[in-house]
């Protein structure tokens, strides 16, 4: 058996050249980000849909007298303000429900959903607590620090709603 006499410098040079060649091949016309929407837009759209469902539940609870109306109206106002802030956080050329022409597979209008039965005070508390806990993962999923702060602030508000619902 013969022995190879390859210096470390030659081996290192070949490794660097190979890595550069692989890197250049990878820079072809393939988009490096394989999704139609960025993680920030995905979180924003998801949050907007969640908030719209929560608003529908609060409106239904208010209509059915499922709790202290003054408190529920205040919480509804908070959720409406959250939707406004989330819509403002979307990039200018991005809609809240997607654009089928851009290939993100969503419709340009909100989906019609049945919010289910009217939640009572305990049900609204559970919904608020679940929403608040989901905000931790959503804040961690975004890349923009200001957006993470907005999502965290919304979660804090929802946690306060759950706490106050528990106290009445």
Residue ranges of the chain whose pLDDT lies below 50: 34, 100, 103, 105, 107
Do the Cβ atoms of 67 and 121 come closer than 8 Å?
yes
pLDDT of residue 35: 56
pTM (predicted TM-score): 0.71
User: Residue 80, Cβ neighbours under 10 Å: how many?
Assistant: 15
Helices (H), 90-120: none
Domain ranges across the chain: 39-167
pLDDT of residue 92: 82
CA–CA distance, 55 with 82 (Å, rounded to integer): 10
Q: Which CATH superfamily is domain 39-167 in?
A: Ferritin, core subunit, four-helix bundle (1.20.1260.10)
Give the tens place of pLDDT for each residue, 28-49: 555 555 456 788 999 999 999 9
Closest residue by Cα to residue 96 from 152, 24, 46: 46
pLDDT of residue 124: 93
Structure tokens at 104: 């993100």
pLDDT of residue 23: 55
């Amino acid at each position: 058996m013969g022995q190879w006499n390859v210096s470390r410098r030659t081996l290192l040079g070949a490794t660097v050249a190979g890595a550069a060649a692989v890197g250049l091949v990878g820079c072809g016309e393939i988009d490096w980000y394989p999704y139609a929407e960025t993680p920030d837009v995905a979180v924003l759209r998801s949050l907007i849909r969640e908030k719209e469902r929560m608003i529908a539940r609060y409106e239904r609870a208010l209509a059915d007298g499922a709790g202290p109306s003054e408190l529920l109206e205040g919480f509804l106002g908070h959720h409406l303000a959250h939707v406004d802030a989330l819509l403002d956080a979307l990039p200018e050329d991005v809609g809240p429900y997607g654009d089928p022409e851009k290939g993100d597979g969503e419709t340009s209008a909100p989906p019609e959903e049945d919010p289910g039965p009217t939640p009572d005070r305990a049900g609204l508390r559970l919904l608020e607590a679940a929403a608040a806990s989901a905000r931790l993962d959503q804040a961690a999923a975004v890349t923009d620090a200001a957006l993470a702060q907005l999502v965290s602030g919304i979660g804090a508000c929802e946690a306060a709603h759950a706490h106050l619902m528990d106290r009445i």
